[in-house]
Chain A
Amino acid sequence: MKGTNIMAPATPEQLSHIVDFLKRERRDLSLEDVMVLAERMAATLDETVARVDTLLHDEFRAIVGEIANLRRDIGGLRPDHMRFERIPEAGRELDAVVEATETATTTIMEAAETIMAADHTDVEAYKALVDAKMIDVFEACSFQDITGQRIRKVVRTLGWIEERLGQLSQKLKISDVDNDPENESEAERRQRELILHGPQMKGEGVSQDFVDDVFAISGQDDIDKLFG
């Protein structure tokens, strides 16, 4: 070992020789030999650590760059405008739609109930009552025009959000993650377990005739035929 440059890092081949040398249980080693070996090993590690350090530094710089790009892209979506203006406004519009339809329904039902409960022995008085209640019904139906406008505003907001999320998804090259029961929220679990789909679009759900067919049968064979 004497006469070697102890500061020079060992090559992998030299390291292999050193390891073999130590494994041979040499009893003629001096303290100086051990020191030389230790210093060569340390020099080797220094270079390795320096290489890894540079690599990590480059990786972190790349990650920081990506985060900066992501922040810029998300900023372009105007998230505060979406969160504090567009979405709450859409929520208020939908609340107003619910309120308007409820008010109109109540007015129409009250009119119907009043007519059904009215005394029709006095024909003239009965006709006057029916005419007045029919006017109430016509007036109540005017809700449809305003709710239509409100719903169109909500649809525009949804389109605006969809467009921006689509742009972000494209930039980030994000694809859908498959449904994973572990990522399922409590509300999603409830919907799945309690079979809560909500109303279907016209032509998508089953008809009352289909339901009647299901209830008209009793055996598994009949059920199989129905879906056959």
Chain B
Amino acid sequence: MALDLTMPVLVVDDYKTMIRIIRNLLKQLGFDDVDEASDGTEALGKMKERRYGLVISDWNMEPMTGYELLKHVRADSSLTKTPFIMVTAESKTENVIAAKKAGVNNYIVKPFNAQTLKGKIEAVFSD
């Protein structure tokens, strides 16, 4: 899978400031088409209307968490191949293992820096 900077990216976080931070970092990396959602339900709705090249999601949101969103995405044949990166403050081992088992492509522990985000996006698209 090649990294295409023109692909639409969906950032899912209930904290507006975090969306703004990720959006700015993505912009620095060359991504211009960045969309946003404030929880898993809104994200799933947007994903059914538009095909995203990458989803970057927080874990802890209401009503639908990023973990539930990931499981919905992997269970839906039309969305299942969407690259999915979890960016979260949930840093217990069981969270990392659960996300990996659910099919997440990569996992970033908050707080993170631009280099980590860049590295994980590149890793996802080099697989």
Q: Which residues of A contact B (CB under 8 A)?
A: 102, 105-106, 109, 112-113, 116, 194-200, 205-208, 210-211, 214-215, 223, 227
Contact = CB atoms under 8 A, between A and B. Distances in A.
Interface in B90-123: 90-98, 100, 106-110, 112, 116, 123
Given A199-B91, A206-B93, A210-B96, 14 more contacts: A106-B17, A194-B68, A195-B67, A195-B92, A195-B98, A196-B90, A199-B89, A200-B92, A205-B109, A206-B91, A211-B108, A214-B96, A214-B97, A215-B106
Interface in B54-72: 59-60, 65, 67-68
B20 interface: yes
A59 B24 CA distance: 71
A195 B89 CA distance: 12
Contacts of B29: none
A60 B36 CA distance: 64
Contact of B95 (A197, A215, A227): A197
Given A195-B98, A205-B109, A105 B91 contact: no
Interface residues of B, number: 28
Contact of A211 (B60, B67, B68, B109): B109
B5 interface: no
A108 B51 CA distance: 33
12 contacts: A195-B92, A196-B90, A197-B92, A197-B95, A200-B92, A205-B92, A206-B91, A206-B96, A208-B109, A210-B93, A215-B106, A227-B93
B21 A109 contact: yes
A206 B60 CA distance: 17
A102 B17 contact: yes
A113 B28 CA distance: 11
A214 B95 CA distance: 11
Contacts of A211: 96, 107-109
Contacts of A106: 17
B90 A198 contact: yes
B85 to A, nearest CB: 11
B106 A208 contact: no
Contacts of A195: 67, 90, 92, 94-95, 98
Nearest to A218: B100
Central interface residue in A105, A207, A215, A223, by most chain B CB within 10 Å:
A215
